[in-house]
Structure 1
């Protein structure tokens, strides 16, 4: 086991069992020396050795009725900033693989995503005290009838779901309105957008190419640069077949499992 002498990282899991890719990603941070906490809503028994399991309620109560009407990852968008505010840990999604340790002196860790320039929030470190985190938490705790960046078409979508709870209504109108859209908008308001890292730091492979992680002939590392710290595996975009079957031999997912010491066959969907 690596000496855990680097900055702490943390994530949230809603459910009772991790998939092998989640095990892989969490263990990669342990092996890089990051104390790794997984906040859970259920009794998760298959987390890798070294991961500290804590109840999600230490950070916030998870309204499962809202989760049931949206998605398992929906409330993680609120949870991550509450967690940062309380613990000052680096947020990591459970499908973010640690390629290299996060530098101790890098206080702003977030990056543009894909081809559109929006900020993703799959890996986030921002100051626990400051305008950006305050504006994000105020947005979540005092939801407006419509997010301030919504256009006319998005507002019309809101009207179609008028009978739903406000958070659900916003989610149905725009799935990323609690995640990348909110983070991008408020980072622009505070001027923190200009601190964003380039995509190669945290999202070297574009989302649209996520199947490359399972291709034994794909040159995944060809997307990496000397800057690359984290590799997002995009499990939400993965085709169902890959969730139910072990990765093909020689693929990036297979090679990383062997490198880290994860048996995919023990944690398939």
Structure 2
């Protein structure tokens, strides 16, 4: 039976090669019928078949010097909103596994995660034309001297930064999440969109602090899921090095999903 065509999803990759978890997560959206695009800053030699690869410069110019001074996530925080505005696709991090398709009618796809309640933007869709989108893009394009939500300690860290560094780098060094969850949470609160957030079980059913459970052959990851669960974030940024350099243990969630989707972990391990 043919999988029905669904709304498009897209992500960004910086680097020459995907890890098997990234292959798994991207393909999981393809298997659910979502046209899946991966925007890349360079040639990536192991993108699975079925994923549309496009140059990241179709969405925005890429300053790799800034990326090298910050991180890949810094660029993706700006990129995701520009991508949504340009293409109307749902943004997906490359470590978000598609458990069920995103409903076509859902216009606010974002949720809190972990134990603190801050909004995450690892999977996100917001209307292309709206106050929240406008405020986020204005923030990135016209950086303030300091983000409005910075407390006294954050402002002190910012003041101590080398003034010769680009302003975006100084803010990043003072607070790594100032361009990601902190910004998204702050502006959603200002526009009233915070109240539209989904509950964590929709997109982040497993708290970040428990991410080792994905590799536990005796752990029942699905016990965290509810009928609402659409996406399962695997949190590769928090994954311990051993799991990145070795295939997952048999019967673990990661191993079972690889078998289900058709990904060979041994062929795409971290070197």
TM-score normalised per structure 1: 0.98
* Mapped partners of 1:160, 1:131: distance in 2: 33
Q: Does 1:185 align with 2:192?
A: no
| Structure 1: 4+ residue segments shifted above 3 A | 1-4
Report the Cα offset of residue 3 of structure 1: 3.8
Q: Does 1:112 align with 2:105?
A: no
**Structure 1, unaligned stretches of length 5 or more?**
none
Q: Which residue of 1 aligns with 2:71?
A: 71
Q: Which residue of 2 aligns with 1:51?
A: 51
Report the Cα offset of residue 165 of structure 1: 1.1
Q: Which residue of 2 aligns with 1:268?
A: 269
SS at match of 2:190: helix
Counting matched residue pairs gives 269
Report the Cα offset of residue 2 of structure 1: 5.4
* Mapped partners of 2:89, 2:255: distance in 1: 29
Report the Cα offset of residue 162 of structure 1: 3.4
Q: Which residue of 2 aligns with 1:121?
A: 121
SS at match of 2:72: coil
Q: Which residue of 2 aligns with 1:150?
A: 150
User: RMSD across aligned C-alpha pairs, in angstroms?
Assistant: 1.0
* Mapped partners of 2:33, 2:118: distance in 1: 30
**Structure 2, unaligned stretches of length 5 or more?**
none
The question of whether the paired residues in 2 share the 8 Å contact of 1:203 and 1:230 is answered with: yes
The question of whether the paired residues in 2 share the 8 Å contact of 1:246 and 1:268 is answered with: yes
* Mapped partners of 2:250, 2:47: distance in 1: 24
Residue pairs, 1:166-177, within 5 angstroms? 166-177=167-178
The question of whether the paired residues in 2 share the 8 Å contact of 1:2 and 1:31 is answered with: no
The question of whether the paired residues in 2 share the 8 Å contact of 1:2 and 1:30 is answered with: no
Q: Does 1:221 align with 2:214?
A: no
Q: Which residue of 2 aligns with 1:16?
A: 16
The question of whether the paired residues in 2 share the 8 Å contact of 1:4 and 1:30 is answered with: no
* Mapped partners of 1:20, 1:73: distance in 2: 19
Q: Deviation string for 1:18-54 (max 9, x for gaps)? A: 0000000000000000000000001112111110000
Q: Deviation string for 1:32-80 (max 9, x for gaps)? A: 0000000000111211111000000000112111111111221100000
SS at match of 1:91: strand
* Mapped partners of 1:51, 1:203: distance in 2: 24
Q: Does 1:138 align with 2:148?
A: no
Assess, with a 3 A threshold, how the Cα gap between structure 1 residues 200 and 112 changes in structure 2: closer, same or farther. Answer: same
